[in-house]
Amino acid sequence: MKAVWLEKNQISLRDIPQPDKPGEALIKIRKAGICSTDLELVKGYYPYTGVLGHEFVGDVVSAPDPLWIGQRVVGEINAACGHCEACLNGRPTHCEVRTVLGITNRQGVFSEYTTLPVENLFAVPVSVPDEMAVFTEPLAAALAIQQQTPIKPTDRVLLVGAGRLGQLIAQTLALTGCDLHVLTRHSYQRDMLSARGILSISEADIEPRKWDVVVEATGSPDGFNLARKAVRPRGTLVMKSTYAGNIDINLSSIVVDEITVVGSRCGPFAPALRLLERREVDPTVLIAERYQLKDALKAFDRAAQPGVLKVLISF
């Protein structure tokens, strides 16, 4: 089968054997999305060799449980062992020996087929089209914020970053009724937010030490520094980005101001699918370009250009 292969910071389109993992479902990919993590892996953010990609929607071709065969599905990207201390205590996304789809020791979804354990699969409602379903994983990641940090309607919430993930975070936070403002750098970001009644804010207008919850979604040291200055004493700083390298942090100020710092990663798929089914969020506004698998390298080039949001690959 054809697949997008990463090796030594270079991607290529190559033929590889169709996957066959005993005890796992075989899934034929319909659509997959290129995200910032994929682009950072190409740059060397984390050592990985293999098929890239973890945002997908596809059809189950075979499975240990025949009830899954023929179903259109999305899948949780962390495959856990179920037996380690983290798994036994309800933290499977932190399984000590987990594999991660297209990221850690598990081939990804920029290929014609992939495999996952059936416990990772979620059936896609009939009313949710592929171009929405392919956003389930990043939408779930956005919802993780509310799972970890309850947001009240009375909270002043600042979101720093209005890119691919930031736009989804904004849509989900807006559903809480909080006083939400999103730091934007570009007019197209403001226009997308405005269309959903979400307020943008400039850096000059951000009041320091006044925000109950600040979500940092830029992955840049400048974004972190701005977020840290904005959060009030005894407020919450949610870190929604991974960072390449190290950044300088004044830990004393975090202690003195009694700031709660929350690292946030993967989130719940079932609520994400419900939001899509009810049309309470619309991720399709993020779609910038669509490519076929044969043009996947062009798709990656396009996705890496500044200001480009979501690029999809069809199979």
- The CATH number linked to 169 is 3.40.50.720
Q: Are residues 229 and 308 in the same domain?
A: no
Q: Are residues 76 and 175 in the same domain?
A: no
Question: Residue 135: how many CB atoms within 10 A of its CB?
Answer: 29
Task: Identify whether 239 is part of a domain.
Answer: yes
Task: Identify whether 11 is part of a domain.
Answer: yes
Task: Identify whether 75 is part of a domain.
Answer: yes
What backbone phi and psi angles, to 5 degrees, belong to 160?
A: -100, 105
The parent domain of residue 200 ranges over 140-263
Q: Are residues 153 and 116 in the same domain?
A: no
Q: Are residues 88 and 147 in the same domain?
A: no
Q: Give this prediction's pTM.
A: 0.95
Q: Are residues 253 and 299 in the same domain?
A: no
pLDDT at 244: 67
pLDDT at 45: 79
Give the integer Cα–Cα distance in Å for 146 and 139: 12
Give the integer Cα–Cα distance in Å for 236 and 211: 9
Task: Identify whether 129 is part of a domain.
Answer: no
Q: What is the pLDDT along the chain (315 residues), one digit of tens a residue?
A: 999 999 999 999 999 999 999 999 999 999 999 999 999 999 987 889 999 999 999 999 999 999 999 999 999 999 999 999 999 999 999 999 999 999 999 999 999 999 999 999 999 999 999 999 999 999 999 999 999 999 999 999 999 999 999 999 999 999 999 999 999 999 999 999 999 999 999 999 999 999 999 999 998 899 999 999 999 999 999 999 877 677 888 999 999 999 999 999 999 999 999 999 999 999 999 999 999 999 999 999 999 999 999 999 999
Q: Are residues 102 and 168 in the same domain?
A: no
pLDDT at 247: 83
Task: Identify whether 270 is part of a domain.
Answer: no
Q: Are residues 118 and 144 in the same domain?
A: no
The CATH number of whichever domain residue 289 belongs to comes to: 3.90.180.10
Task: Identify whether 291 is part of a domain.
Answer: yes
Give the integer Cα–Cα distance in Å for 220 and 236: 19
Q: Are residues 144 and 244 in the same domain?
A: yes
3-state secondary structure of 33: strand
Task: Identify whether 132 is part of a domain.
Answer: no
Q: Are residues 158 and 74 in the same domain?
A: no
DSSP secondary structure code for residue 227 in this structure: H
State the pairing for strand pair 25-34/10-15: unpaired
DSSP secondary structure code for residue 102 in this structure: T
Indicate the number of domains in the chain.
2
Nearest 5°: the CA angle 99, 148, 191 is 95
